[in-house]
Every structure is written in structure tokens, then in C-alpha cells.
Structure 1
């Protein structure tokens, strides 16, 4: 059993500042020399880029459906044995989704730090705090932090609105319910685009933004807690039985595309490939690097639509990938990694950009989400779990070799396209959910 202070940072809705607060806390404590591990609820790819920069540690995703409870407990136990602090950023609103962030907090006993955008309210702030704290029986509670506070007077009104039964004396002379407020300041805002936050590594001032956030957090009661103060939120994390992974990819090399256009890669997926015995090498299609000498290729998701000119002009990369396919070597392409394989890509303004032409069909960007939600792929090796999240649609005469099954009633299946050794889909696979099925993606033509 390992004990470690842990908080789940949640909110009443998206856009309240969960990522801001999580990154600020991670950066503040990492600068002070503490070992901080950050996790993200749900299958999000983008927030973890900021948290990894803030903490200096890899960021894994936690989702009760995607991972399963045992996998989550194993990841948290490993983190607890090597960390001074664990931060988990929630997803959407605290009680949104099936399962929700609240479900995770209750199941694992992790206290909730609520973040509320108070920019356009005063007394109603207290009502939201009371509702979040008491709506779910047995929800572990740490307190609330106000975001986008206008002034010192505004902050006093917000604090006064929190009811007495939502507060309580705590070590260190602060209220257990009120943990301070962050002022409204666009100087450290995190810019967004159609899929979510801009990737941190694309912004030259990203670290300066994180430092500004950490400096602001340091002025709050939350930011002034020392290591002993954090112990009030210590949580026990028990060890889980190890599940051995057969080295099905032993002796094989998998080339992984990795750059600004192919950046949606779970660290856990890379870990799974290594556990399967694969040697990983990386290349950049945007830089027109040829596919390295390898047995299989993985094209992860990302932003090919933002780098379409570079991709279409990448003659060396395209030619080497075509040769790899012609030699019968497997390719797994998911979502943004699939899009350049087709004949053309229509951008948001309607401009068509010719792409690699390795699969017949056309891709077109859409003004709104075209697919979202958890999915499973029922393979010959069992269920491979994942999710879908895309702003484009594909039309192709290729007959899908399979379809995914939505985990929710309102979801839509995703086609798995196949041509020779290529398998491609909008489906983002969570490799750890079925290492055997994952291995087959990089071993043969069919799963």
C-alpha cells in the first residue's frame, strides 16, 4: 500500500479552468522540487501536453470504461510509490458522462477540488459550491477555488457566499472549503482551436505561460500549502496483480510518426508496444523524413489539416511509405493519421489539397464535430477499446473490413478500412485494453 496526496480537479462544466488550475499546481510544485504526477480523466490528447510540460513527467489517461478499474488502480499505485503529489484533471462537468469524474473520485476515494469560473457571479457561487459538494452522497471533498476573479472585493464576496456547512477548520489556518481565487488575466490564457487546446510545444512562450500561472497560484491559500498541508488529502493506493504481456512483437521494429501533424499519442500506447517487445523508432512526415527501416508503421492522430502543404510536398516520406506498403508490411493509421492516406483533403475553407493517394477516397473537414464518444472493436483476439473524436468525414468506395461498436446508445460506428496491409479508421485505440489485438495490428493484414 502506498499513500500519496491526491486531488481530482473538477468543475460544474467545461471551460471553467480545470486545465489552468491543474497545470498551475503542477508547475508550482515541480518548481519547488516536488515529484508531481498528473493524470487526465477521459481520452483527451491535448491537455496532457500542457501537464507534461508543467510537471516534467508523462501524463496518462484515466477512464473507468476505457482503462478499467484495475488498470487505473495500477497506474495510480505506481505513481504513488514514486511521487510527492498526484493531480487528476477531470473531464467536462463533475457529474457529466458515463462514467463521470465523480464516479472515479468516489470509487477511489480521491478528494475533489472544484474549480468554478466566477467571472460573472457573486452570491450564486456559494450555491454552486453547495450543489457540487452535496449532490453525490459520499463524494470526497477538498474544497473550491474560484477562477477569473475580477478584484479583491469580488474575491471577498465569493468567499462570503460559501455556506458555513461547506467550510470547516483545517490545519494551516485556512478554510477547508475555500482555497482561494485566481484573477482574470489573459496573459496566461491557453489558446484553443477546433479540437481543443493548442499543443503546448507549438507555442514558444508555453513555459512562460505556465510560470505565470504558477506565480498566480502561489498567492492563493491553495498555493501556499506546504508538503505537510497536502497530507490532509493523502490517499492509499494498493498494488494490483500484474498482468503479464506476451512478447508478441519481440524482434520487430515499429516506426511511429511523431510531429506537429501526428501528435495524438498516448504514452500508455507506447508503453504497451514496448511491453509487447517492439522496438520503437520515430519519424516526422512534416519534415519529409522517410519511414525508417521497420517491420510496421503507426500513424497516430493529430492535425494533418494544419500541415497539409508540407505533407503533400513530402515526396520522400510518401514514397517510402508506399514502398513499405508494397512490400506487404503493416500500417495502422488512426484518425488524423488516416487522413493523408486518401486522395485528397478538403480544408475548412473548401480548398482541396491532394494528399498521398495510398487509399482511394476523399476527406473533408466539417464545421462541427462529426464523431465523438467511446467505441470498441470486436477483433478475433477480443475487444479492443478506444474512442472517436473528429471534425472530418471520409467518403470512399473501399468496403470496410469491420466496424466499431459505440459504447453509448447515441454513438455511431466507425469504419475500419483495409487495403492490403493497411488498416485505417477514425477509431483511436487504447492499446492496453487488449495487447494481443494490438499486436495483430502490427503483425498481419487482418485483426
Structure 2
């Protein structure tokens, strides 16, 4: 049993400022020497990259479908044993999705605070805040945060309309200079924002200036049975992992699992034209190959090295953007075609509208895995799929799984802890 203060930060909708507020709180405490652990609700790679920079610690996903209750409970308990503060950022609106942010907060008894964009509100702010509080009475709402207020007087008026059991915790002004840049999949990755640290400090300053007196993060108990470590089924194996601005969609829990399986991880950057490291297996995660197609196509050795890797029957897992980089051709959203590695037959086209989104359950030959899909591209390949994913919410997104020799590819971003044995069996070859 570990005790640690915790806060679940949600909102009525996406775009309310959850990420910036969570990052502001994390940075405010971290720069005072406190150990802050931040989690993100659901599958997301972009918000966690910002939150990791803010807190100075890896950010893990809490998802009741991909990881399950016991896995999420274990992650929280591990964090509580080593942290001074736990922050969990929600996804979309508080009650949106299945499982929703509210489901996660209720499952672990986490105190909830909602961030509300007050830029165009007066008395309706209190009505919205109390409506969120009362919609599911089993949730514990400890306050509300007013974001993008117009003035100090505006903030005072918002606070005066709230009931005593739902205090205004903080009121932050509208600051256009603090808005994070976005692109088609969400926020721009932290590693692509050279001014991010200064921006995070400015957010922390705004949080501290807008904080109302009396906020106290109350410690709560986190208990979980210790997970039995996986057997070192990949002891002595070396897996090369592409990691840079083109291939940045990597769950921290996936890396932890590979290490626990006994893997030596060898990271390399295709964008910097680094050579494929000597390895027993290769993982190309998702990312933005369409934004860096010319640089990837100009790599002097990677395509040949990957072809040789596959000719030796060594495993290669390619997810979403990693898969696109292996095709014969990739056409970007501007209509320009780019030559890619040519080790997987087919072509892809990036469009301006969303092509697929949703949680995914997929049956690998080695066993079932879970993950998610989110992309703007469409694929045309002569390969016949060996499996098709299903969406637990009944959505239309149902991605295909392709096998081409020792290459396995899909639009699915797999969550390795959902089936460690299957992952180990694939990478063992």
C-alpha cells in the first residue's frame, strides 16, 4: 500500500485546455523539486510527449480496454510508491467514449477537477460545472478550473457562481502566445518544439498566479498486487527501434515490457541517416513518415539493410507510419508521390480527412493483442491480410494485419503488455 496525492484532470470537451493545465501543474511542482508522475487516459502519443517534458518523467497510458484494470492499478501503485504527486489527464470530454475518463476516475476513486473554457461564458459556467458534477454522483469532484478568462473580474464572477462543495481552484487568462501548435494527428511532438521548455515555464507561472488559496492535494491509498515479471523469453535478443520525429509513436510500457523480456534495445534515427544497428529483430513504430518522406527516401543504406534483414528471416514489426515507410510509394496530402523503402508491396495516400480511429482487438497468429488506430492515410496493397481487427465499441475501424515473409505490418499501434507472450513469440522469430 502506497499513499500519494492524486488529481484527475478532465473537461467538458476536447480543446478546453486539459493538456496545458496538466502540464502547468506538473511543471510547477517539478521545478520545485517534487517528483511528479503523469498519466494519460487512453491511447495517445502526442499529449504524453508534452507531459513528459513538463514532469521530467515518462508518461504512461491508463486504458481499461488496452491494459485492463489490474495493469492500470499496478501502474498507479508503482507511481505512488515513488512520487509526491500523481496527475492523470483525461481524454475528450469527461463522459465521452467507452471506456470514458469518468469510468477510469471511478474505477480508482480519483478526485476529479474539470477544466472549462470560460472565454465566452458568464453565469452559465457554474451551470455547466455543477451539471458535470451531478451527472454521475459516484465521482468525487474536488473543484473546477476556469481557463481563458478575460480578466480578473471575470474570474471572480465565475467563482462566485459556484456552490461551496465545488470551489474554483484556479483561473487562468487567455494567452494566445501559449497555445501549442497542432497538425492533423494532434499536438506537434515535444521534440519538434524548440521553445517548449520556456512555454512550459510560462504555463507554470500562469498556474501559480491564477491559483486560488486553499488548494490541497489530499493523499490517497494505492494498492495492487505485484505483477509477476514476465519470463525472460527474449534474453540475449537485440531489437533495433526507429525513434525520431518520423517514428515517435512509442508507448513507454512497450519498452518496459521488452526490457523485462530480456531484450537489449538499440535505438536509431532513420531521419539522421543512421545505419540500421546489428539486431535480431526490428520495430518501426508509427509517426509522421509523410512529413519526412524525402529525407527517408534519401537514406543511403536503410532500404537495402531492411531487405537483407528480411532475407535472413529476421522479424520486422511495422505499425502505421512505420508500415507506410516500407511501401513502394507514399503520396502526401499535397499530392506529391515519394519513393519509399520498397520492402512491402503497395502504395499509400495521405488525405485531408480522417481515415480511421478507434480501439482495436486483433488476433496475431501467436495470440490476441489490443491497441488502437488513428490515421489519415489509405493503403493499397496486393497482400492478403492474415487477420482483421475488431472495434470493441462497434465502430467501423477494423484494421488488417499483413504478413510478408518475416515482416508483419498493420495500421494498429499495438499495446505490448496486452499479451507479452505473443509479442515475445513474434520477436523471437
Please tell me the TM-score bracket, short chain as reference. Answer: over 0.9
Task: Give the C-alpha shift of residue 339 in structure 1.
Answer: 0.3
Residue 438, structure 1, aligned to residue 423, structure 2 = yes
TM-score (norm 1): 0.94
2:90 corresponds in structure 1 to 90
1:182 to 172, 178, 187: 172
8 A contact 2:284–2:317 mirrored in 1: yes
2:193 corresponds in structure 1 to 203
Regions of 4+ moved over 4 Å: none
* Alignment of structure 1 residues 58-77 onto 2, 5 Å: 58-77=58-77
8 A contact 1:182–1:220 mirrored in 2: yes
1:242 corresponds in structure 2 to 227
What is the alpha-carbon distance in structure 2 between the residues aligned to residue 365 and residue 243 of structure 1? 42
1:254 corresponds in structure 2 to 239
Residue 319, structure 1, aligned to residue 309, structure 2 = no
CA deviations 1:161-195 (Å, max 9, x no partner) are 22x2xx24xxxxxxx52112110001211111100
**In the comparison of the two structures, how many residue pairs are matched?**
429
CA deviations 1:194-234 (Å, max 9, x no partner) are 00000111111000000000000011235x668xx222xx2
What is the alpha-carbon distance in structure 2 between the residues aligned to residue 392 and residue 127 of structure 1? 41
2:389 corresponds in structure 1 to 404
Task: Give the C-alpha shift of residue 120 in structure 1.
Answer: 0.9
What is the alpha-carbon distance in structure 1 between the residues aligned to residue 243 and residue 22 of structure 2? 26
RMSD of the TM alignment (CA)? Answer: 1.2
1:333 corresponds in structure 2 to 318
Between 406-415 and 188-197, the greater mean CA deviation after superposition: 406-415
What is the alpha-carbon distance in structure 2 between the residues aligned to residue 379 and residue 348 of structure 1? 31
Helix, strand or coil for the counterpart of 1:81? helix
1:390 corresponds in structure 2 to 375
Residue 342, structure 1, aligned to residue 314, structure 2 = no
Task: Give the C-alpha shift of residue 408 in structure 1.
Answer: 1.8
Helix, strand or coil for the counterpart of 2:428? coil
CA deviations 1:283-320 (Å, max 9, x no partner) are 11111111100000000000101101100001212221
* Alignment of structure 1 residues 41-440 onto 2, 5 Å: 41-162=41-162, 164=163, 167-168=164-165, 177-221=167-211, 229-231=216-218, 234-440=219-425
8 A contact 1:331–1:441 mirrored in 2: no
TM-score (norm 2): 0.98
8 A contact 2:358–2:395 mirrored in 1: no
What is the alpha-carbon distance in structure 1 between the residues aligned to residue 95 and residue 374 of structure 2? 21
- In structure 2, runs of 5+ residues without a counterpart are none
Task: Give the C-alpha shift of residue 154 in structure 1.
Answer: 1.3
What is the alpha-carbon distance in structure 1 between the residues aligned to residue 275 and residue 306 of structure 2? 8
